[in-house]
Structure 1
Amino acid sequence: RGRMWSLSAEQQRDLALKLTTFLSHYSHLSDSYIIEFFSEDLWNSLPTSWQTALQDLTYPQVADLLLDVSHKDRRYPSVWPLSLLAYRATAHALAFPREHQQDGGGSVKPEEFLKNESQSSLLGHIFRKHVKPKKQHEIRKLGVLVKKLCDHTGCDRVVDMGSGQGHLTRFLSFGLGLSVTAIEADHVLVATATKFDGELLQALEKENQKKNSGSLLPVPSSMPHHLACWVNPKASWEAFIQQLQASDCVSEGVLDPSGPSKKRLRGFELKEGLPVHCTRSQDSNKDKHEEVPAETSSQQSVRREGTTNQSHSDFILTGLHACGDLSSTLLRHFINCPYVRGITSVACCYMKITTVENPSPPGLVAPPETASESDPDPALTQFGYPMSSWVHGLVGHQLSYKAREGACHAVEDYVRRLREGSELLKTHCYRAMLETFIRDTRPELRRAGIQTIKKAHLLPFTEYARLGLVRVGLPPDMALDPGRVEAMLKQQGRVVVFFSLALLMSPVVESLVLLDRMIYLQENGVDSQLVPLFNPNFSPRNFVLVALKSRGWSSKQQINP
């Protein structure tokens, strides 16, 4: 164990095989829905020996003995079966280590928030406005890493995908002096980002006036460029470059919602001589000791055919918690587009990734105005998982929607709740109880969406049930057998234990998804590093996938965050 930076091609494939074998063997846990604890009798789906060992555990014992990989003093209240010990040990061993040695050990908050829990001491005050502490932590650390990649490749241009309100964009542009293009599908968020850009610029000018001799940060030569558009995961990289040339553009801080901007984005013009497709190396079976140039011969040809200023079009791709298929789309553009020199990808929302089994998972909706774009190249109509040929060929590689949704859970946060004995722990039991009463009346309403009931943990179950029943169209005063209610409430500890057993799989599922992307890059001649950049107690999706296409770079050369 220890800090995970990179793996050889052989190590990647060996780990993928182990992960798929383990996950397929315990898929009944990762695929389980805790709301069906009572209706599907999930507790009795466990081996009898597991039930005996786990049924009387206190909440802190669940945290220490099952979930916390760093906890060493394991004092078992009873003898555990070897199969249970093996399950826990294997889950911990196969998952990528999430701790970063610079995060100050197991502290809940990073050191930058010890003096003021809402203000990072390492981020300038002009970048903290409108930004929550978690995001402050993320944009500072990722921004510094992106700047290092820019310095390493000689690029000063960055494309920020899924930029939201532009917090990372502003730090990269105003804070680090980079030329940034931000792409966001939500027009409202783009308008907000533009507004915040203007506010920051005004604050910067006030700082200059106060100091009379320059500011802590120079006023940038150009504002960030914001594009309000949806990136089609099935479109070619040429179409992506054309999007960067600006449609529905917010340029120089002016939003024109009525139509495409007349201003073209500087530095992203397509050059003459650009081939229709960028051929990449198809040989994924090269000797593991061979250094494979990351830039293919066709990419070098593109550069020779361009103008002398061709290198100015190069840029770094970044995505901070790019949702679902957007992260895999970034990786494909990184591999195929000759202008993308490097990438930093922080993924999230794994349940929204498309797969063969779930080509249109819940929550994945393409904007209607872009869904009818010209048909993409059939070779590009690939799914978000698996991306690599190797993982696709492994027996048992399939990940269900529920398994991928579980991979988005915050293990560290749940461990904290267990140790604190938080009242929030009762909510899973409440929802599972309600499920039984709903199915008794309307069996077809299996797993009905109720959404979050505000402060459910502070309500008695009868009040929680009243609010939940209304949301599925059932009478709020429906009779609830008091005896059944009391009996199920007594099993809250078992609900917590079962959820924890399934939660143990979450980092393993995430590791397989991220490893598949590393193998995809390796199959296309590019080494990568997986960096646990953020404090996992503070930012659960804390892994950053980092890769460069500069000649001679390999995973042996670390880009230290």
Structure 2
Amino acid sequence: MSILSDRDEKMFAPSLSLEQQKDLAIKLTSFLSQYSHLSDSYIIEFFTENLWQTLPACWQSVLKDLSSPQIADLLLDATCKDRRYPSVWPLSLLAFRATAHALAFPREDSHSREAVAGTVKPDEFQENNSQSSLLGHIFRKHVKPKKQHEIRKLGTLVKLICDETGCSQVVDVGSGQGHLTRFLSYGLGLSVTAIEADQHLVSMATVFDRQLLWALDKEKQKRNCSFPIPDSSPCHVAGWVNPSATWKDFLRQLKTSPPGVNQSPPTFAPLKKKLKGSTHETKVQETDQTSPTAVAHGHLNKTEVSSSTNCSNFNEDSTDRESFPDFVLTGLHACGDLSATLLRHFVKCPHVRGITSVACCYMKITTKEHPAPPGLVQCPASQTTDTRSEFGYPMSSWVKGLPGHALSYKAREGSCHAIEDYIRRLREDSERLRTHCYRAMLESFIRDVRADLRRAGIQTIKKAHLLPFTEYARLGLPRVGLPSDLPLDSARVEAMLKHQGRVVVFFSLALLLCPVVETLVLLDRIIYLQENGVDSQLVPLFNPNLSPRNFVLVALKQL
């Protein structure tokens, strides 16, 4: 059963039945466990671990001389219609490619003209690469094109869910600088509480709120007229959402304004005039002359501003249904376990009526095998060992019980890669493709001297692809504590450089599995919701060329 009305159904990919979900999970775990040696491999170990030789001999013979555009067409691009094979491929390789494409959720919306066109950027950026033509200018300030695209599309979807559930309250978790929050509040007329762990970002969001209202006030004075926008001002709360905490603890966070939240943050240069009566937030009164949609699209012809210092949109003392308002949860690229935590709160909290979840940073998800992966944000108030019984993956009982369901840190890290961007590089035969070969070569020389230095981080070397390898090594070696003038065998360097094409091929084989890994993570969450009596749909909402993590998991609870 669809979670949305018939008029909106055409926007979304069809949902699977529970039996279809379970069957797909079986196929995914079986396939990924069979090829885990690819998804678990580190391309920087191409030479040190002799990764090329781990491929079947029949694969090696047909892949070793492929050009970069051929790799894009013959391996990675599922939509390529004109595949011209330079030689006969073994059935095992053809089956590997076909299965990977068939099992992964489609990353493009078949109803989207942007997807059909296959452009790098959506139509909204055709006139101006940095400004969306579909988003009002007041919401574009400080916002990069990728984020403009995301907040417009996700904000519209959140408003749709609010209309379906009858909710006017939204909680934006992991809100950062508040770009989505402002669009939901000032653009779409919703009452929004934003929670963000980084106090600095909370302060920035507050400043940007005031800048937006200052711009409206300036517009009003310039045009000598009044402009109504919705009677809602976003509330920004600084707080870390603890994955081990209960939904009641989460609600208490939403009702609490931490010390300093109501204080005026430092004013940026553009904000030279203080709004009358404003100490932190500014509330705007709405009349029936102009709709919130007009504000969202930048029709700034009238303005009316009044101030308010009340930060909390949830100021009741109780969490009882009768006294606490229902709301919709949203998280735009909620990192690691945060997206899983929001889904659990959605299932368990009676006040959460709907959710739109956009996940990212799958490598930071906790698992039973890796309860503390690198980069995991721990509770700032405690450094004690996490004894949680629930992890970010798997969430569902079904996937948890399947043999081969485990996903390594490397497999989850790979699933965050931008496959569309890499296909573009291959088609352009970009010089950037040599970077993986350079790093793999450097790994080999590092281990010659320090065998214990495995996969040491050297961070990004600017414009590495434009440098000769010797210069790349000179810059990279000191970052792992080795001398920059470490002798490099020139004959060995030349021999390894000749294998750059094979490095690209191997990386592409592993990259082909990345959407499959992401599909399993997201399918596990869909099944988890189904096990808890909630239907959901997975929406490829964003243009994947602009926003690689483009899936939105949408669910709502009917009363």
Q: Normalised by the size of structure 1, how large is the TM-score? A: 0.87
Partner of 1:489: 497
Residues 144-183 of structure 1 correspond to what in structure 2 (within 5 A)?
144-183=156-195
Distance 1:246 1:186 in 2: 16
Give the 5 Å matches for 1:359-398. 359-369=371-381, 381-398=389-406
Of 109, 113, 117, the match for 2:125: 113
Give the alignment partner of residue 37 of structure 2, picking from 13, 21, 28.
28
Q: Structure 1 counterpart of 2:217, which letter?
A: E
Q: Distance in 1 between matches of 2:36 and 2:52?
A: 15
Q: Give the corresponding residue for 1:479.
A: 487
* Cα distance, 1:208 vs structure 2: 2.4
- 1:401-425 alpha-carbon deviations (Å, 9 max, x no partner): 0000000000000000000111110
Distance 1:365 1:113 in 2: 35
Residue equivalent to 1:525: 533
Q: Structure 1 residue 265 and structure 2 residue 312: aligned?
A: yes
Change (3 A) 1:177 1:201: same
Match of 2:430 in 1: 422
d(CA) in 2 for partners of 1:174, 1:336: 30
Alignment of 1:229 onto 2:224: no
**How far apart in 2 are the matches of 1:522 and 1:390?**
11
From 14, 19, 25, give the equivalent of 1:10.
19
Q: For 1:427-477, what per-residue CA distance to the aligned partner results, in whole angstroms no more than 9, with x for missing partners? A: 000000000000010000011111111111111100100111000000100
- For the residue of structure 2 that corresponds to 1:431, the secondary structure is helix
Conserved? CA contact 2:235–2:313, under 8 Å: no
CA distance in 2: counterparts of 1:268 and 1:410, whole angstroms: 42
How well do the aligned residues superpose, as a CA RMSD in angstroms? 1.9
Q: What's the CA shift for 1:247?
A: 4.0
- Residue deviations 1:237-284, cap 9 Å, x none? 00000000124267567459xxxxx96723352537x4xxxxxxxxxx
Give the Cα separation in 1 of the matches to 2:128 and 2:379: 41
Q: Distance in 2 between matches of 1:547 and 1:501?
A: 34
User: What residue identity is the alignment partner of 1:245?
Assistant: K
Offset of 1:533 from its aligned partner?
Answer: 0.1
Q: Would the alpha carbon gap of residues 264 and 178 (structure 1) be closer, same or farther in structure 2, given more than 3 Å must change?
A: closer
In 2: Cα distance, 1:399 partner to 1:367 partner = 24
* Amino acid in the other structure paired with 1:246: T
Deviation at 1:366, TM superposition (A): 1.4
What is the rounded CA distance, in whole Å, between the counterparts of 1:367 and 1:240 in structure 2? 14
Q: Secondary structure at the match of 2:94?
A: helix
Alignment of 1:161-310 (within 5 A): 161-215=173-227, 218-248=228-258, 254=264, 265-271=312-318, 274=320, 303=321, 306-307=322-323, 310=324
**Structure 2 residues without counterparts, runs of 5 or longer:** 1-10, 267-308
Taking only the aligned residue pairs, the percentage that are identical comes to 72
Instruction: Kindly provide the CA deviation profile for residues 81-130 of structure 1, in whole angstroms up to 9, marking residues without a partner as x.
Output: 00000000000000000012322421110000001010000000000000
Q: Report the 3-state secondary structure (helix = DSSP H, G, I; strand = E; otherwise coil) of the residue aligned with 1:369.
A: coil
Change (3 A) 1:253 1:141: farther
Indicate how the Cα distance of structure 1 residues 268 and 510 shifts in structure 2: closer, same or farther if over 3 A, else same.
farther
- Assess if the C-alpha contact under 8 Å between 1:223 and 1:253 holds in 2: no
Q: 1:109-168 CA distances to partner (integer Å, 9 max, x unpaired)?
A: 000000101000000000000000000000000000000011111111100010011100
Superposed CA offset, 1:475-514 (max 9, x none): 1000000011000001000000000000000000000000
Offset of residue 370 of structure 1: 5.1
Q: Secondary structure at the match of 1:6?
A: coil
Residue aligning to 1:284 = none
Pairing partner for 1:544 from 530, 552, 555: 552
User: Within the alignment, does 1:452 sit opposite 2:483 as a pair?
Assistant: no
| CA distance in structure 2 between the partners assigned to 1:3 and 1:132 by the alignment | 26
Please point out which of 351, 355, 358 is paired with 1:346: 358
Residue among 324, 335, 357 paired with 2:369: 357
- Letter in structure 2 aligned against 1:84: L
Question: Structure 1 counterpart of 2:47, which letter?
Answer: F
Distance 2:393 2:443 in 1: 31
Structure 1: 5+ residue runs without aligned partners?
Answer: 257-261, 275-302, 552-561
Give SS of 1:109's match. coil
Tell me, what secondary structure is at the counterpart of 1:5? coil
Q: SS of the counterpart of 2:487?
A: coil
Give the counterpart letter for 1:225 in structure 2: C
Q: In 2, are the aligned partners of 1:241 and 1:270 still within 8 Å (CA)?
A: no
Aligned partners of 1:3 and 1:99 also within 8 Å: no
**Could you list the per-position Cα deviations for residues 376-396 of structure 1 after superposition, in whole angstroms to 9, with x for gaps in the alignment?**
xx8x63000000000000000
Per-residue CA distance 1:318-344 (angstroms, 9 max, x = gap): 000000000000000000111100000
Are positions 1:431 and 2:439 aligned together? yes
- From 74, 85, 88, the equivalent of 1:76 is 85
Contact in 2 for aligned 1:225/1:250 (Cα 8 Å): no
Aligned to 2:420: 412
- Secondary structure of 1:221 counterpart: coil
Distance across 1 between alignment mates of 2:263 and 2:133: 29
Question: 1: distance between equivalents of 2:375 and 2:140?
Answer: 31
Shift of 1:184: 0.6
Q: Distance in 1 between matches of 2:549 and 2:258?
A: 31
Match of residue 542, structure 2, among 534, 538, 548: 534
Task: State the TM-score, normalized to the length of structure 2.
Answer: 0.87
Find the residue that maps to 2:411 and give its secondary structure. helix
Report SS of the residue matched to 2:381.
Answer: helix
Shift of 1:3: 6.7
